[in-house]
Structure 1
Amino acid sequence: MVGEIAALTVALCWAIAARMFKVLGASFSPLSLNFWKGLVAIALLLVVTQLFLPPVDLPVSAYGWLLLSGVVGIGIGDTCFFQALNKIGDTQSVLITETLAPIFTALLAMVWIAEWLTWQQWLGIALVLVSVDMVVKVRRKTQLHLFAPSGYIYAAIAAVCQAVGAVISRDILTTYTFLDAFNASLVRLTGGLLIIVLLMAVMKKRWLPESDDPARMWRMFALATLLGTAAALYLQMVAFANAKAGVVQTLIATSAVMSLAVAWVVGEKAGKATVFWSFGALAGVAVLVAAGQLAGH
């Protein structure tokens, strides 16, 4: 159950951080925000791994796979998701990416690492994904629907990249059981940052943010990065080390539902349909956790 709890905590961290990152988007370009949060998270992880943890001796190939996981899952995947946001809006982007990523992850895990899900786990995945999709649709039904074929392609590519990054991480963490989540997160995030720096240099994007209140902006940025990048990535590695990749990716997709709780805390109200489908997602989570316990994973 450790893996499932870690995945759900990742979803909560992302739900909280997403609100702050949305505000920060007025000061940062998407790539520069990705760059700075990655850089700060790497600095935090370096402090932990160098001062508080014993050194890890991995084969060069293992480091290479983890770096590739970060390049594909964080660097390319996030960039494609940002492109989808710009072309088809957040509703369609979230629907496509968060629906396809768990399915692609489960299928790829079968092929890559022979990790098979039980029919009960597939049922839980279906319940979660349908409920999450309905929650997003209900909450965004008043928004203008945008149609740009390339946006849907970007969203699908983002889902594939998430799946590849997830399965590679799961493979390395289960192969080298002595590898801790902090060091795994550090290597993976470094790979993601390398591709982001390359993209920013090639596309000549602005590196520094612009704000009328820099002190407030950087405080919010620090909190959002701590929750949404450093803590979330560490917990994601814990999840992949202790639960099947498809299950983890599905539970992380509940961040859309977790955001409802965050909205309620800040005084926003949810309609009956949203509440109903939120309970549907919780039922799916319960099925996934129970099925994982029955399967011994």
Structure 2
Amino acid sequence: MLASFLTTIFFSLSVIFAARSARVLGGQTANLARICVATVLLAMWAHLFGQGLHGGGLPWFFVSGVIGFGLGDMSLFGALPRIGPRLAILITQCLAAPVAALVEWLWLGTNVRAVDLVCATIILAGVAIALAPDHGMEVSKRTFWIGVLFGVGSALGQAGGAVLSRKANEAAALTGYVIDGGTAAYQRVVGGLLMTIVGFLLIRRTQPKVDAPKPEDRWERGSIFVLANALAGPTLGVGCYQLALRSTPSGIVLPIVATSPLVTIILSFFIDGTRPSRRAVLGGLLAVVGAVLLKDAQANWWLVRKCLNI
């Protein structure tokens, strides 16, 4: 459970650094740069201290990266400019958890207790309250629904990547390999890097060229944010994420990770001075309550049963 909470913190920091690097370098360039840096960092860990590109889970981790890092992130970047970050993240986070829990139950036979589902629902409700748009969106219906479809694609990518990581850990264990979080993240980011490169090239070919001059010192100003984003997100964040999925069902891990936008709101207040709305605070408190209950679900469930003499 601790790994899930650490994932949330690292992902929240990653969002802040990603926003700053994107403002300097551009979204797609910053995204590709952070994946490249993360691949190098994770490769050093995996080949020096981990299992490298070995183990029975490698094919599954690779496909997990293609779907999660590749298709999931590409869909998210497609949703962001159309329906905005709040609604895009809301759709992604609140759909990924139940979809992952359902797929894992149907495919891997992983059962989640009723008390865990209740706590997860409380967390997702808090996220929905905090992140839901305040007013009607001033975009065309066509743009809105295309953005929603991209958001659903992002959720499916995140859910699929999580379930495939669970399958990868099972396959690795059957072959006698205990894959650490850093190695799992490395085997996963390899597939994500390939998909990101393909997506970057396709976008460059289809987007019209802009003749506006680019600042000569943009890499000098943006490199520190790219490095910080790569460390917090694809490296430490995904490493903790894979460690959490190794021992905990995705239907429990994903609701906790879904609170990362709320943690980002808090961190943005201290770092950038951006004050959160009252609704964001209330939704965040509700999500925190759900996370605390989920952490102590076993003890709480035992207490309830004892009080009811079940």
Provide the TM-score with structure 2 as the length reference.
0.85
Q: What residue identity is the alignment partner of 1:233?
A: V
Q: Paired residues, what number?
A: 287
Q: What residue identity is the alignment partner of 1:81?
A: L
Counterpart in the other structure of 1:31 = 28
Provide the rounded CA distance (Å) in 1 between the counterparts of 2:197 and 2:299. 42
Provide the rounded CA distance (Å) in 1 between the counterparts of 2:274 and 2:232. 22
User: C-alpha offsets along residues 190-223 of structure 1, whole Å, 9 cap, x if unaligned?
Assistant: 00111111222333359xx954443221112111
User: C-alpha offsets along residues 67-88 of structure 1, whole Å, 9 cap, x if unaligned?
Assistant: 1110011101100110011211
Counterpart in the other structure of 2:13 = 16
Counterpart in the other structure of 2:286 = 280
In the TM superposition, what are the counterparts of 1:1-297 in structure 2 within 5 Å? 4-53=1-50, 57-59=54-56, 62-137=57-132, 140-141=133-134, 144-146=137-139, 147=141, 148-177=144-173, 178-204=178-204, 210-211=214-215, 212-266=217-271, 267-291=273-297
Q: Specify whether residues 210 and 142 from structure 1 end up closer, same or farther in structure 2 by C-alpha distance, changes over 3 A only.
A: farther
Provide the rounded CA distance (Å) in 1 between the counterparts of 2:278 and 2:146. 34
8 A Cα contact 2:91 2:151, kept in partner: yes
Q: What residue identity is the alignment partner of 1:191?
A: G
8 A Cα contact 1:123 1:287, kept in partner: no
Q: Answer with 67-76 or 16-25: which moved more.
A: 16-25
**Aligned-CA RMSD value:** 2.4
Displacement of 1:257 in angstroms is 1.3
Q: What residue identity is the alignment partner of 2:201?
A: A
Q: Specify whether residues 149 and 290 from structure 1 end up closer, same or farther in structure 2 by C-alpha distance, changes over 3 A only.
A: same
Q: Answer with 173-182 or 126-135: which moved more.
A: 173-182
Provide the rounded CA distance (Å) in 2 between the counterparts of 1:260 and 1:7. 18
Q: Specify whether residues 47 and 92 from structure 1 end up closer, same or farther in structure 2 by C-alpha distance, changes over 3 A only.
A: same
Q: What residue identity is the alignment partner of 2:276?
A: A
Q: Secondary structure at the match of 1:270?
A: coil
8 A Cα contact 2:91 2:152, kept in partner: yes
8 A Cα contact 2:123 2:259, kept in partner: yes
Displacement of 1:243 in angstroms is 1.0
Displacement of 1:110 in angstroms is 0.4
User: C-alpha offsets along residues 89-137 of structure 1, whole Å, 9 cap, x if unaligned?
Assistant: 1121111111101111111110111111111111111100110111113
8 A Cα contact 2:25 2:219, kept in partner: no
Provide the rounded CA distance (Å) in 2 between the counterparts of 1:7 and 1:256. 14
8 A Cα contact 1:12 1:255, kept in partner: yes
User: C-alpha offsets along residues 18-57 of structure 1, whole Å, 9 cap, x if unaligned?
Assistant: 1221122123343332221111111111111222335674
8 A Cα contact 2:42 2:186, kept in partner: yes
Provide the TM-score with structure 1 as the length reference.
0.88
The runs of 5 or more residues in structure 1 that have no matched partner are none
Provide the rounded CA distance (Å) in 2 between the counterparts of 1:145 and 1:292. 45
Q: Specify whether residues 56 and 217 from structure 1 end up closer, same or farther in structure 2 by C-alpha distance, changes over 3 A only.
A: closer
8 A Cα contact 1:135 1:256, kept in partner: no
